[in-house]
Amino acid sequence: MSMPPEMKRYTVRLMSVMTLYGVTLVGVNLWFRHAPPTGALAYVAAVLPAVPIALVFVVIGRLLVEMRDEYLRAQMVRDQLIATGVTLSITTAMGFLEGFGMIGHVEGYYAATIWFGALGLAACLRGIGRLRERADG
């Protein structure tokens, strides 16, 4: 089965943005380690790795707009809603745990990591459910 053109574009966009993320993250870490910027430049540099992560959400949004198969689009939206709910629930619980002194501070950028992990888990569980339906039917 060949890959639909919108999925090919999505894959190229995602690979490009994640390459940019890797380069930016390594570059900014090296910059801060060897010749730390100061003032406003330090703030701009520190936020740079967040830009490609934000672009991942743009790439995902573009895929949703470009998808021709409404059923697959609905499944993706469902997976994203599950990932968002899981992420908000976990980060809220962590906030309360931190607020009551039960855990140390957790960096905010882990929210994106949780979301992407939850998105992958939702898609895997959907796939397992589909396999079970085929086996039963």
pLDDT one-digit tens code per residue, 5-18: 999 999 999 999 99
Distance CA(105)–CA(115), nearest Å, equals 19
Answer whether residue 61 shows pLDDT above 90. Answer: yes
134 or 29, greater pLDDT: 29
Residues 94-119 as b or e (16 or more Cβ within 10 Å = b):
beeeeeeeeeeeeeeeeeeebbeebb
CA distance 42 to 47: 9
pLDDT higher than threshold 90 for residue 1:
no
pLDDT at residue 130 in the model? 87
Burial of 2 (0-12, 13-18, 19+ CB in 10 A): exposed
* 115 touches 87 (CB < 8 A): yes
Cβ neighbours of 59 (radius 10 Å): 19
Residue 66 to residue 130: CA distance in whole angstroms: 24
Q: At 4, which helix (H) or strand (E)?
A: none
DSSP 100: T
So what's the pLDDT on residue 68?
Answer: 95
Alpha-carbon gap, residue 86 to 96, rounded angstroms: 16
State mean pLDDT over 55-80: 96
